[in-house]
Structure 1
Amino acid sequence: MFPIFDITPILFQTLAMVFLEPQILQLFLVVLAIVALQYYRMGKAKERMFGLKPRSPWRDVLIATGFGLVGGIMASYIMVFVGLTLSGSGLIYLWPLAILLMLIDARFLCFAYAGGILALSSLIFGWPKISVPQILGLVAILHFIEAFLIWVSGHLGAMPVFIKNAQGKVVGGFALQKFWPIPLTVMVVIGQTSIPAGGISMPDWWPLIKGDLGSNVDNMIYSLMPVVAGLGYGDLAAARSPKQKGKISAVLLALYSVILLVLAVLADRQPFIGIIAALFSPLGHELLIYLGRRMEAGKSIYSTTSEGVKILDVVPGYPAWQAGIRSGDVILEVNGMAVGSRQGLEFALGVYNKVQITYYSQAAKQVYREGIDYGAKEMLGLLPVPEGNEEVFMELSTNGPLRRWLNNRFTRDRK
């Protein structure tokens, strides 16, 4: 039986070192600053959409840190359960290669691509000297934690955007962007002994991934080490709500990570499976992206309706939010006057300081009438869906600087 109760005190003591050791704490604060910068940028983008002053990003950072801590604890338990160690994991190569790949396309920053390339290079050319099961197991576990974080919080703080669909019409949608600082613990091999040593006794089947340790694994002495990581998630919701899209993405990503982890464990026993696992790491991730795009290729639920004005987003705390209006609802009348366009809605709201809004609730599937009293300079906090002919919209491109430079160079040469 796996000694989870014996491991727990040591795991939490090691995890606490992230906040107690000055050098590790500094690294955690750097990751936290990067996360805060991302949320600040998202706030500025939302300001451009609503014309409202963005709130402080620290609330979002605090929430992300809380979720990241839970994810880090989960990752630590899974890594110990699998027997994943830093020895032979290729972590020293993962970050540099991922950053180089990001110059081509931003989505290649994900370890699924760098891990797969390093594993294939090691199997085919013998360089770098890494444990293929270890590196792919690491990729799988990090993606499983990302799937959990997407499930519980991927939809929070979704940013409204205007996008152009396949028919060239500008419609509404939500950019799902989340960033989590992840404090976690990993195992390291600190020595070897030929006599029974103290510590925690592990079951006979452990570890699931032996890596380069081979038959010597029973004589190894392990310790836990605090590590800081960061995870990010980016997606688009147009054909379904942010929460629905987040749940679907989380399930698909969890399935991908479980398959990759199983392949990594099998590759530890049958080396030829390492080729399959190394190919599945990037190609399976590309399949996830393809499926995600196909899901959003259909009709946007955030487009104009034949009756009334559909709302793309509502700012929490503002009068419209307090009146119960939510994303996807349709405003039918203002003070008894029917509204059928964004301009008509803006005109009707600009005439009165106290209005009675009749709207259809998408969630309750019924019509409500609410009175709203707001000052002359106060905003309702409503963002209607685009009407299809807006000139400002978000370009859906993840091209990195190198690809953009090559595209511009190619365009100039053709001219």
Structure 2
Amino acid sequence: MELLIQISIGFVEALKLLLIQPFYYIGILFVIFQYRRQIYLERKLFHTKLHSLLNETWKTIGWGIVGGFVCSLLLIFIGVSISFDVLILIWVISLILILFQVRFLCFSYSVGILGILHVLVVSFPFFESLKSTWILKTLIEINIPSLLSLVAILHLLEAFLYYMNGTKSSTPLFIKGKRGKIVGGYHFQGFWPVPLFLLIPTTSSGIVLPWNPILSNDIVTSGWMMIAFPVVIGFSEMTRVKLPMHKVKWSVKWLTVYSIVLLVLAFVSHFWSIFTFSAVLFCILFHEGIVYYSKKQEFNQPPIYVHDERGLFILGILPNSSAEKMGIKVGEIIHKVNGLEVYTKEDLHQAIRVNSAYCKLEILNFEGESKFVKGALFSGEHHHLGLILAPDEQAMYYLELNEKPIWAYIKMKLSGILGVDPSSKKNIQI
């Protein structure tokens, strides 16, 4: 009971600091900025939005709080201990890296860099004379297994949130293919500001744990205090060669493998420090390897979001539309509408007009088998039943997928530059 009271008091004190610090609010603003950009793209490409900024923001904050609470319990139990100075270094390195590419905000990179610097500082005598400086003293005292465990558990949380929200938060796209043809694709995006509550050792009175934390059993301390450490986790990737559910499963599988192996390496490096450098390299290289292999798949495999001789490929479904009520799914192909074969948007429009009150469709499912759906039509509904079709040569906007530093997005936003000459097709860079 006394332990519960101590932890509760420590949690309340840490929560107060979290609420007066700017970092958590910066994370929320970053998430809002990302979702605003996503909705802007949806309006530009499809003349409507597929997601609600308010709903996505509240859902993101809620998932982040729940995930942060669960992760904090795990981190406290295994004894992850990170000093306040190290937390500052992590954020500084992350903010520097984000100037090059937004995806470098991931802590795999900042923690990996800190780990490499730690190994260099403790391995070479050259730094002995400089170890009294703040930054070198902090690097020497870093608990690398704790940092690696932090990254592993955060990626486990990311994998879970990706699995739960990946397809729901995805957005269909028009993308310029390798040969200049505009094809369909999907962009997966999800970011969560996660408030973590970590233990740091203190020389004064603090929380006294009845167990010996695994990763902090060599730390001499008279107690522990709790601090709040806000982080932003998330994913942002695209596909032209996989259906949304298949891409999500692939990414979740490899994120989970990465997390479990990294957590094992963190414990191994705690007991046998000779493996520290290998664990640090794995932290960066395997994560980057997942990104590289995903891009390689996208480059080597043919796009699937294109029309063919069977009919019109369904790229997306508008929420609460007739198509959604009929049970039509992304990735299926419209073969016939009201008994007429359709190969273009004009064919679809004309076939729907055959019966303005009712519509029958023959759909080819994922296995290529026919299924038949039907439904009533009402005035004021989307003229294509709420279907977003794969692009054709008449598409006016497409996405140019160039990874850019954060300042490039800010510059584009401030300048208001959207693309090329209005008289031609416009490319929107993301």
Tell me whether the two structures share a fold, i.e. TM-score over 0.5: yes
1:178 aligns to 2:190 (yes or no): yes
The C-alpha deviation readout for 1:329-351, integer Å capped at 9, x for no partner, is 22222332221123322444467
* Correspondence list, 1:309-320, <5 A: 309-320=312-323
In 2, Cα distance between equivalents of 1:97 and 1:62:
28
State the 1:21 CA deviation. Answer: 6.5
Name the CA distance, whole Å, in 1 between partners of 2:256 and 2:201.
29
Whether 1:63 and 2:59 are equivalent positions in the alignment is yes
CA offsets, 1:236-255, max 9 Å, x none? 23322222211221121121
Specify the alignment match of 1:412 in structure 2: none
Deviation at 1:312, TM superposition (A): 0.3
Aligned pair 1:48/2:14, yes or no? no
Q: Does 1:138 align with 2:150?
A: yes
Deviation, structure 1 residue 287: 0.7
> Does 1:209 pair with 2:215?
yes
| Distance in 1 between residues matched to 2:281 and 2:160, nearest whole Å | 24
1:6-21, aligned counterparts within 5 Å?
A: none
Compared CA separation, residues 6 and 317, structure 1 to 2 (3 A)? farther
**1:332 pairs with 325, 331, 335, which one?**
335
1:270–1:177 Cα change, 3 Å: same
For this pair of structures, how many residues does the alignment match?
Answer: 390
The 5 A counterparts of 1:321-400 are 321-349=324-352, 353-360=356-363, 362=365, 365-375=369-379, 378-379=382-383, 380-387=385-392, 390=395, 392-400=397-405
Q: CA deviation at 1:122?
A: 1.8
Alignment of 1:116-131 (within 5 A): 116-126=112-122, 127=136, 128-129=139-140, 130-131=142-143
* C-alpha deviation, 1:29, in angstroms: 4.3
Aligned-pair CA distance for 1:27: 5.2
> How far does the alpha carbon of each residue in 1:245-299 deviate from its partner, in whole angstroms, 9 at most, with x for none?
1122112112112222222222223322111112112111111112222343423
Rate the CA distance shift 1:308–1:176 in 2: closer, same or farther, 3 A.
same
Give the partner amino acid of 1:317.
Answer: N
2:246 paired with 1:244: yes
Distance 1:177 1:15, change over 3 A: farther
CA distance in 1, matches of 2:85, 2:353: 62
SS of 2:360's equivalent in the other structure is strand
Question: Contact 1:14–1:226 (CA<8 Å) still a contact in 2?
Answer: no
Q: CA deviation at 1:201?
A: 0.9
- Would the aligned equivalents of 1:82 and 1:207 in 2 still touch at CA under 8 Å? yes
Structure 2 vs 1, CA of residues 307 and 13 (structure 1 numbering), >3 Å: closer, same or farther? Answer: farther
Partner residue, 1:263: 265
Distance 1:201 1:339 in 2: 70
Aligned pair in 2 of structure 1 residues 377, 369: CA closer, same or farther (>3 Å)? Answer: closer
What is aligned with 1:407?
none
CA contact (8 A) 2:45 2:397 kept: no
Percent identity of equivalent pairs: 28
Mapping for residues 392-411 of structure 1, pairs under 5 Å: 392-400=397-405
1:74 matches 2:73: no
Q: Which moved more, 1:181-190 or 1:121-130?
A: 121-130
Tell me the equivalent position of 2:422.
none
Aligned pair in 2 of structure 1 residues 242, 272: CA closer, same or farther (>3 Å)? same
Separation in 2, partners of 1:222, 1:305: 64
Q: Report the counterpart of residue 285 of structure 2 in structure 1.
A: 283
Tell me which amino acid in the other structure corresponds to 2:323.
Answer: A
The Cα of 1:77 is off from its aligned counterpart by 1.9
- Tell me how far 1:82 sits from its aligned partner: 2.1
CA contact (8 A) 2:15 2:228 kept: no
2:173 partner letter? V
Q: How does 1:159-174 map to 2 (within 5 A)?
A: 159-174=171-186
Structure 1 stretch 363-372 or stretch 149-158: which is displaced more? Answer: 363-372
Distance in 2, Cα, partners of 1:6 & 1:353: 71
1:146 Cα offset (Å) = 1.2
What is the DSSP-based 3-state SS (H/G/I as helix, E as strand, rest coil) of the residue aligned with 1:331? strand
Cα separation, partners in 2 of 1:377 and 1:252, compared to 1, 3 Å: closer
The 8 Å contact of residues 190 and 221 in structure 1, kept in 2 or not, is answered as yes
Contact kept? 1:15, 1:183, Cα under 8 Å: no
- Partner of residue 410, structure 1: none
Go from structure 1 to structure 2 and tell me whether the alpha carbon gap of 1:376 and 1:350 turns closer, same or farther (over 3 Å shift): farther
Evaluate the alpha carbon distance shift between residue 14 and residue 394 of structure 1 in structure 2; reply closer, same or farther with a 3 A threshold. farther
Instruction: Quote the residue 2:225 is aligned against.
Output: 223
Q: 1:362 to 1:188 in 2, by over 3 A?
A: same
Output aligned runs, 1:288-303, within 5 Å.
Answer: 288-296=290-298, 297-303=300-306
Change (3 A) 1:243 1:34: same
Structure 1 residue runs of 5 or longer lacking an equivalent are: 405-415
Residues 374 and 266 of structure 1, relative CA distance in 2, 3 Å threshold: same
Structure 2 residue runs without a partner (length 5+) = 123-135, 410-430
Conserved? CA contact 1:40–1:56, under 8 Å:
no
What's the counterpart of residue 418 of structure 2? none
SS at match of 1:49: helix
Q: Deviations over 1:57-87 (max 9, x none)?
A: 1111222223222321221122112211122
Secondary structure of 1:272's aligned partner: helix
